[in-house]
Amino acid sequence: EAQVTQNPRYLITVTGKKLTVTCSQNMNHEYMSWYRQDPGLGLRQIYYSMNVEVTDKGDVPEGYKVSRKEKRNFPLILESPSPNQTSLYFCASSLSPSSYEQYFGPGTRLTVT
């Protein structure tokens, strides 16, 4: 089954404690991205990757890191989480960002206290 998986689905953590949210896709997609969704603000792109070892900042990259060492995986790293990073996070993949369907993971609900 074609899918994007994220882990964990729910996470409550404390300020400053490093965390990683994993994302994996089994569709051999080149394009992957991370979004956060907040009430009234919609989906905002954090980082995206056009291919292995190629990543770029989205609209709200501050406080986040990513890596793309393999095509299928695109982890999101919060080195020192802060309460303003409390949000719903989605990973997505597609053949390209322009004309093809974006497949989203189920989401990770993160709370930073």
Applying CB under 8 A, which residues contact another protein? Answer: 31, 33, 35, 40-45, 48, 50, 56, 58-59, 88, 90, 97-99, 101-102, 104-107, 109
CB of 29 to another protein, least distance (A): 14
Shorter beta-carbon distance to another protein: residue 14 or 41: 41
CB of 62 to another protein, least distance (A): 17
Distance CA 66, CA 16 (A): 17
CB of 17 to another protein, least distance (A): 25
Strands (E) across the chain are located at: 4-7, 10-13, 19-25, 31-38, 42-51, 54-57, 65-66, 76-78, 87-94, 103-104, 108-112
